[in-house]
Amino acid sequence: MADYKLMKGNEAIAEAAIRCGCDAYFGYPITPQSEVLETLMARMPWEETGMVVLQAESEVAAINMVYGGAGCGKKVMTSSSSPGISLKQEGITYIAGAELPCLIVNVVRGGPGLGTIQPAQSDYFQAVKGGGHGDYKLIVLAPASVQEMYDFVDLGFELAFKYRNPAMILSDGVIGQMMEKVQLGPYKPRMTDEEIIAKYGSWATTGKTPDRPRNIITSLDLEASRQEQFNLKLQKKYREIEEKEVRFEKIACDDAEYLFVAYGSSSRICQKAVDLAREKGIKVGLLRPITLFPYPTKAIQEMIGQLKGILTVEMSAGQMVEDVRLAVEGKVKVEHYGRMGGMIPSPNDVVAALEEKIIKG
């Protein structure tokens, strides 16, 4: 029989980490995601699976612990919310530069600065366009339910290891805090040291043995031409990810003349807005990007012929809308509707915005 449980989004992250064989979690408290660390501490996974859980002294330390653990070829993760993720950017660019896999969860709150503890989606640029210095990309997954918070931990690790690249779950305070039924997966065993050496011994710092040269985890290369070659290699990897790993969901799109594009909790609101608009006779569908990098650019382009207009709905001043505009290249009208600072749009607001900005305008 399937194992179901009612849980918060943040708790689902913690439970999934334990069950998918995560080796270590390093974090620092910040609302609205502290339940991840709290749940892990209460569950004592070190007794059950041997997973290391540590409350670091800061987000800076936490992400550098992730960097160290990831260098050992281990499954290591952290979670935080917006101001904490800003602090983690230093470590994230080092991890991307050293091409290490790891999982970072951002349960976004309103900013800028200390902002509010209420939900927002205003860290989109930071998540998908870089965030730290240098040319790098994260693999970014955007869950829209507590079930997906659970499922994307395993998926995030899988993609991170496949491409030796940091992955991020970009969630927000709504999904982190709401409770839903979750189907729990079976326990995956943690990899043994021998398995890690067999699988990642080629690069992980597991202790130098006579049969191989020393392994060095670094992002430093003082020689400009080699550094350029390395950057070209990174860019090639990102193009491959764009080709193979795009994920999205389409709802009521077959006959749609208008389209909402929204991710995460905004997509939940848009789902209701689709129903309300269709009651009024407006043929609107919803495209929900699940991966924000790689972005479902082609999926949007394929719909251009049938559309009279697109409304992106995000809890921000309009960040993802830029990627939609890039995708449609001016062939269809694209507008943005959103609330900021922790305010959440209602489905009626979204329908009104569609009528105002797209249908009438």
Partner 1 sequence: MDLKDIIKEENLVYSKTKLLTDNIMHYCPGCTHGVVHKVVAEVIDEMNIQEKSIGVAPVGCAVLAYNYIDIDWHEAAHGRAPAVATAISRLYPNKYVFTYQGDGDLASIGTAEIMHACNRGENIVVIFINNGIYGMTGGQMAPTSLLDMPTSTTPYGRKVELNGYPLKITELIAQLPGTCYVTRQAGHTPAAVRKLKKAIRKAFENVGQKKGTSFIEVVSTCNSGWKLSPVKANEWMVEHMFPYYPLGDLKDE
- Which residues in this chain contact partner 1 in the complex, by CB under 8 A? 23-24, 26, 52, 54, 56-58, 60-62, 64-69, 71-72, 74, 76, 90-91, 94, 98, 193, 205-210, 214-220
Smallest distance from partner 1 to CB 185, Å: 24
Smallest distance from partner 1 to CB 29, Å: 15
Phi, psi of 248, rounded to the nearest 5 degrees: -160, 170
Give yes or no for a contact between 120 and 109, defined as CB atoms under 8 angstroms apart: yes
Between 61 and 304, whose beta carbon lies closer to partner 1?
61
Q: How far apart are CA 68 and CA 76, in angstroms?
A: 9
Type of residue at 18: I
Type of residue at 320: M
Q: What is the dihedral of CA 75, 130, 247, 179, to 10 degrees?
A: 70
Using omega within 30 degrees of 0 as the cis cutoff, is the peptide bond preceding 101 cis? no
Smallest distance from partner 1 to CB 34, Å: 19
Q: For residue 260, which of 275, 280, 246 has the smallest C-alpha distance?
A: 275
Smallest distance from partner 1 to CB 279, Å: 54
Cα 150 to the center of its chain, rounded Å: 12
Smallest distance from partner 1 to CB 227, Å: 14
Between 208 and 308, whose beta carbon lies closer to partner 1?
208
Between 31 and 205, whose beta carbon lies closer to partner 1?
205
Between 208 and 233, whose beta carbon lies closer to partner 1?
208
Between 198 and 317, whose beta carbon lies closer to partner 1?
198
Reading the block at residue 318, the tokens are 């309009």
Q: How far apart are CA 342 and CA 186, in angstroms?
A: 36
